[in-house]
Structure 1
Amino acid sequence: MGKDKLRRFAEIDTFNNVLQLDAGKPFKGKWAKDFFKNDKPVVLELACGKGEYTVNLGQLFPQKNFIGIDYKGNRIWRGAKTALEDGVANVGFLRIQIEMLLDYFGDGEVDEIWITFPDPQPQVSREKKRLTSPRFLDKYKQILKPNGCVNLKTDNDDFYTYTVEKVNEFGLKAHIKTENLYISEYTDDVLSIKTYYEKKYLQHNKNINYIKFSF
Structure 2
Amino acid sequence: MGRSKLAKFAAIAERENVIEPGNELYGQLVDKWRELHFENDNPIVLEVGCGRGEYTVGMARLFPEKNFIGSDIKGARLWKGSTLAEEEELENVTFLRTFIENITENFAENEVDEIWITFPDPRPRDRDIKRRLTSPRFLDLYEHIVKPGGIIHLKTDNGPLYDYTLEVLQERQVKSLIHTSDLYNSDLQEHTMGIHTTYEKRYLAEGVKIKYLQYKVS
Please say whether Structure 1 and Structure 2 have the same fold, judged by a TM-score greater than 0.5. Answer: yes
* TM-score for the superposition, normalised by structure 1: 0.97
Structure 2 residue 90 is the aligned partner of structure 1 residue 88: yes
1:160-179 alignment, distance < 5 Å: 160-179=162-181
Partner of 2:3: 3
1:14-163 alignment, distance < 5 Å: 14-23=14-23, 24-163=26-165
Q: Deviations over 1:177-204 (max 9, x none)?
A: 0000011112127442011111111111
1:148 deviates by: 0.7
8 Å contact kept, 1:58–1:90: yes
Residue type of the alignment partner of 2:190: D
Secondary structure of the residue aligned to 2:31 is coil
* TM-score for the superposition, normalised by structure 2: 0.96
1:174 deviates by: 4.0
8 Å contact kept, 1:167–1:173: no
Partner of 1:210: 212
Q: Deviations over 1:92-135 (max 9, x none)?
A: 00000000011000000000000000001111101111111111
- For the aligned residue pairs, the C-alpha RMSD in angstroms reads 1.1
1:10 deviates by: 0.6
Question: Unaligned stretches of 5+ in structure 2?
Answer: none
Secondary structure of the residue aligned to 1:16 is coil
Secondary structure of the residue aligned to 1:122 is coil
State the identity %.
47
For 1:174 and 1:96, the matched residues in 2 are separated by 30
Question: Unaligned stretches of 5+ in structure 1?
Answer: none
Residue type of the alignment partner of 2:129: E
1:26 deviates by: 1.0
Q: Deviations over 1:142-171 (max 9, x none)?
A: 101011110000000000000100110011
Secondary structure of the residue aligned to 1:107 is coil
Q: Deviations over 1:13-71 (max 9, x none)?
A: 11100001233311011111111111111110010001000001001111100000000
Residue type of the alignment partner of 1:93: F
For 2:166 and 2:192, the matched residues in 1 are separated by 21
For 2:182 and 2:188, the matched residues in 1 are separated by 10
1:176 deviates by: 2.1
For 1:186 and 1:168, the matched residues in 2 are separated by 19
Secondary structure of the residue aligned to 2:214 is strand
Q: Deviations over 1:62-84 (max 9, x none)?
A: 11000000000000000001001
